[in-house]
Amino acid sequence: MTTPDKNAVKRYLLSLQEQICSGLEDEDGEGRFIRDAWQRDETDQLGGGGISRVLRDGAVFEQAGVNFSHVTGSKMPPSATAHRPELAGRAFEAMGVSLVIHPHNPYVPTSHANVRFFIAEKEGSDPVWWFGGGFDLTPYYGNEQDCRHWHDISKTACLPFGEKVHPKFKQWCDDYFYLKHREEPRGIGGLFFDDLNEWGFEKSFDFMRSVGDHYLEAYLPIVSRRKTVAYGAREREFQLYRRGRYVEFNLVYDRGTLFGLQSGGRTESILMSMPPLVSWRYDWHPEPGSAEAELYEKYLKPREWATTPD
């Protein structure tokens, strides 16, 4: 297995953060990202830092957060060793870009993406490393064109790496972004992968870059088509209600959130994924035949959306 080039990964991640922030600012037209560089107080167990970039109250995006982090520790947190107990006690480095975009308009979906690299080391042993990440879409009002576009670009990102890659990572995404206590998906999925190292460093890194580089191509055309659609109080209330599902997933299931909190990460940066406004309603159900009901009946059902050929 090739020796990983941590510096190359870090350079790419920083450039990706810049690229995504620039693309989102151009689409918003008014909002600008603030830049908040932070450093952890160095201890025997924890170190590192990052750059949090947040746009709030733009013309299109109510809140958009794009984080870069590079953290180190002398001991892997439980969330990182749950599936790999042999790594418990190893020192680690984790770096990545993670983003969540919450739009004003309920007809523009929320989107999430992250790409990350972990390396766990122990004196006298070979380092153990892997890549992970993906992107997924959470619409409030379903749209066939948007869903097909999102999944077509997801598939395009995977095709250079083999015909079996997209079906595998699409299914993993459908399985991962699922709220078991609600018995429903968070959204319409996309891609999710983790523990990727069997291709060797160069190919695995190329795949992570392909996922990161295709995010804006997948999301911005959807934003452009939907950002001026008229909406009223009903749509806004439904958006705030559905955002509650986002909060529930991130706090109960999301491995990145759990890793950040368990590893002593920066709370403000970790929780920037939370929507700025959200609501819960007791035992609420959509009116039969409504556009809100259609989301559950047609769109929150895993299916093959992609139209591009293999």
List, by residue number, the catalytic residues: 112
200 is in an annotated binding site: no
Amino acid identity for residue 196 in this structure: L
264 is in an annotated binding site: yes
234 is in an annotated binding site: no
State how far the Cα of 165 lies from the Cα of 240, in Å rounded to an integer: 35
214 is in an annotated binding site: no
Are the C-beta atoms of 147 and 304 separated by less than 8 Å?
Answer: no
70 is in an annotated binding site: no
142 is in an annotated binding site: no
DSSP for 199-234, please give it.
Answer: T-HHHHHHHHHHHHHHHHHHHHHHHHHHTT----HH
Amino acid identity for residue 105 in this structure: N
Are the C-beta atoms of 255 and 232 separated by less than 8 Å?
Answer: no
State how far the Cα of 93 lies from the Cα of 153, in Å rounded to an integer: 30
Q: What 3-state class would DSSP assign to 250?
A: helix
166 is in an annotated binding site: no
Long-range (24+ apart) CB contacts under 8 A made by 276-281 are 276/56, 276/62, 276/63, 276/102, 277/62, 277/240, 277/243, 278/240, 278/243, 278/244, 278/246, 278/247, 279/237, 279/240, 279/241, 279/243, 279/244, 280/241, 280/244, 281/241
102 is in an annotated binding site: yes
Largest CA distance in the chain: 64
Backbone torsions φ then ψ of 91, nearest 5 degrees: -70, 155
List Cβ neighbours of 69 (8 Å cut-off, separation of 6 or more): 48, 49, 50, 94, 95, 96, 98, 260, 265, 266, 269
Binding region for a divalent metal cation: 102, 112, 151, 181
Binding region for substrate: 98, 114-116, 264-266
Binding region: 98, 102, 112, 114-116, 151, 181, 264-266
